[in-house]
Structure 1
Amino acid sequence: MTAPLFGFGLDSSLAGAATMLEHAAQADRQGLDLVSLSDHPYVGDRLDAYAAVGMILGRTTRLTPFVNVSNLPTRPAPMLARTVTSLSALSGGRVVLGIGAGGAWEEIVKMGVAPLSPAAAVRAMEEAITLIRAMSGGGGPLTFDGEFWQVRGVLPAPVPAPRIWTGSVGEKSLAATGRAADGWIPGHAADWRSARVARSRPVIDAAARSAGRDPREIATIYNLPGRITARPLPAARDGAGRWRGGSVAQWVEELTSAVVEYGAAGFTYFPVADGTPVESALATWATEIAPAVREATAPAPTT
């Protein structure tokens, strides 16, 4: 069992740009593994996600920023390949590619993008993963004649492909994750005890086995909102079974169970608006909860 990853979800609004960079630097100092930003390029008051990632890499030394998840319809796969390999080269490999098929098509088409059916969008996502890998790792000129993208005699970047995590929801997209991706970020902030994950993860695993892959190679990284409270809550989950949060001890117990019993590979924490300063919630997550879960899930020393 590998050590679980701990991340933090950043505010990607233009108005909060300076604060976002401060939070990323704090996360780096306090030992987190990841920070993430959403990608909604059709919204005028949001930062461009990859411009923000570049700035965060320049302000940090160890953590990995990633886009949670890249809006593929507005980011052509060949150029996305060049972007992530460039960021990897600049940062010494501190990059993960989060990718999605695209959901808000009524907004996406405002950017001049031709609409795709849900099935075609999933095929485009899987093809993009294949092309991005082909355009990484060096080698001779590449010709790729896909359904959605074509390149002719392009030299791959001499940089390994990053880890690729999808934000898959539908069955076809989940199957594409099993065949092609390195990780899965469940949609709608579904957690390890949710019905959504219970019915979705088997689709990924079956597709992985059909492709000759070990399903254990595909990590599950959860987007996890919740409160961190000074005192334990009477119930850390609501009536529908959804995680609400609680004290540090309640978080540690729940996340340890998620890793040990459910195989969770990581968590990206999103603070909720409960009056707690974001800096305080981030510090508690990074310096109290994450270390305790890492310790609780570490392999026993061999003698």
Structure 2
Amino acid sequence: MPVQEVLFGFGAHSGIDDGPELLRMAQQADRDGLDIFSLSDHPYIGGRLDAYASIAFVLGRTRHIAGFANVTNLPTRPAPMLARTVTTLSSLSGGRVVLGMGAGGLWDRISDMGVPRLSPGDAVEAFEEAIVLVKRLSGGGPPVTYHGHHYRVDEIEPAPVAAPPVWTGSVGRKSLAVTGRVADGWLPGHAADWLSERYRTSRPVIDEAAAAAGRDPGEVRTVFNFPGRITDRPEPATRDRDGRWIGGSADQWTEELTGAVLEHGASGFILFSPRGGTPDPGSAGRWAQEIVPAVREGSRRRAPGRTRSGPGPALA
């Protein structure tokens, strides 16, 4: 099977007053050839831009780059309406959207929004139902009737637009297994890279669940939310004493990420600042103009089987 094209992007946690800067960064990333941008989804924080309204606005002002919520706060965005949102975004943007999905983490704040609190087991069950339902309400076909424990729809016409790829932020074993069964990608979490304990212990759970469901585990890509500093000169150490990546020169980043692609199967990287926030414009520019092209070239030169699935970013 051909190797998936590696995706590169940047992540942002944008406040109400940050809209112009977010748009500027996304437009520059679009010109620089990045594949994707992500926004956090915390609707209980009044000072934040709404993720989906912002994604729609940015997609309307760009040509190639895709957007996604990293990850969607599912309990506050019911699956049937979420399906309508993402298929509409996909239709209007020419397929430039990914559906990031999470079971819900900050339940104290989520319940403050008037959403009934779910037990961890019920939250994971609702998470899987939501992914299944979004996909069934996409791609055309006859009306959908679905009666799950958490979602129910009766004779609802699906959108004639294919569902976007679904990437999850799964952490626990049950939600990791959901990712293997029904999702298209996995985001291990901030700073949890290919050398981390989280990756080493979690990825096999996804692979086993995918195989048990009759899927090729390689169909579930791993995309890393990757914070770090980009320095002018090489650093004596690019990882801290706990083995966590802290950054280095453009050449050190290139070597590290190329190795991650070729030796560990990484298929995407989303840049964040060293503290996990929005990268500064200088770092974002060096990422897009120096590091990303070098990693793409190194990966293709040493692994010629890589393919894209058509025009625009190969997101699936």
Smaller-chain TM-score range? over 0.9
User: Is the CA contact (8 Å cut-off) linking 1:11 and 1:20 kept in structure 2?
Assistant: no
Which residue pairs with 1:169 in the alignment? 171
> Equivalences for 1:279-290 in 2 at 5 Å?
279-290=281-292
Q: Percent of aligned pairs with the same residue?
A: 60
Equivalent position to 2:192, from 185, 190, 194: 190
How much has 1:146 moved relative to structure 2? 1.1
Give secondary structure in 2 for the equivalent of 1:256. helix
Equivalent position of 1:180 in the other structure:
182
Q: Give the aligned partner of residue 115 of structure 1.
A: 117
Matches within 5 A, 1:91-110: 91-110=93-112
The residue that corresponds to 2:54 in the other structure is: 52
Distance of 1:169 and 1:189 partners within structure 2: 13
What amino acid sits opposite 1:110 in the alignment?
D
Report how far residue 141 of structure 1 moved: 1.2
Q: Is the 8 A contact 2:11 2:279 kept in 1?
A: no
Pairwise CA RMSD: 1.4
* Residue identity in the other structure for 2:30: D
* CA displacement 1:236-290 (0-9 Å, x = unmatched): 000000000000000000000100000000000002369x981111110001100
One-letter amino acid of the counterpart of residue 14, structure 1: I
Give 1:59 deviation, angstroms.
1.1
1:12 Cα deviation (Å)? 1.7
- 8 Å contact from structure 1 (residues 35, 64) kept in 2: yes
Q: Which runs of 4+ in 1 moved over 3 A?
A: none
* Aligned 1:232-271 pairs, distance under 5 A: 232-271=234-273
User: How much has 1:2 moved relative to structure 2?
Assistant: 2.3
CA contact (8 A) 2:86 2:97 kept: yes
Number of the residue aligned with 2:201:
199
User: What residue is the counterpart of 2:35 in the other structure?
Assistant: 33
1, 9, 12: which one pairs with 2:11?
Answer: 9
The amino acid across from 1:199 in the alignment is: T
2-side partners of 1:283 and 1:11: how far apart?
A: 18
* 2:16 counterpart SS class: coil
How far 1:112 sits from its partner (Å)?
Answer: 0.4
Alignment partner of 2:80 out of 62, 70, 78: 78
- Matches of 1:122 and 1:257, distance apart in 2: 33
Cα displacement (A) at 1:222: 0.2
**TM-score, normalised via structure 1 length:** 0.97
Cα distance between partner residues in 2 of 1:295 and 1:34: 19
> Alpha-carbon deviation of 1:140?
1.3
Structure 2 segments unaligned to the other structure (5+ residues): 306-316
Q: Which runs of 5+ in 1 are unaligned?
A: none
The secondary structure found in structure 1 opposite 2:236 is coil
SS of the equivalent of 2:9 reads strand
Write out aligned runs for 1:135-174 (5 A): 135-174=137-176
CA contact (8 A) 1:184 1:221 kept: yes
Rounded Cα–Cα distance in structure 2 between residues aligned with 1:28 and 1:161 = 23
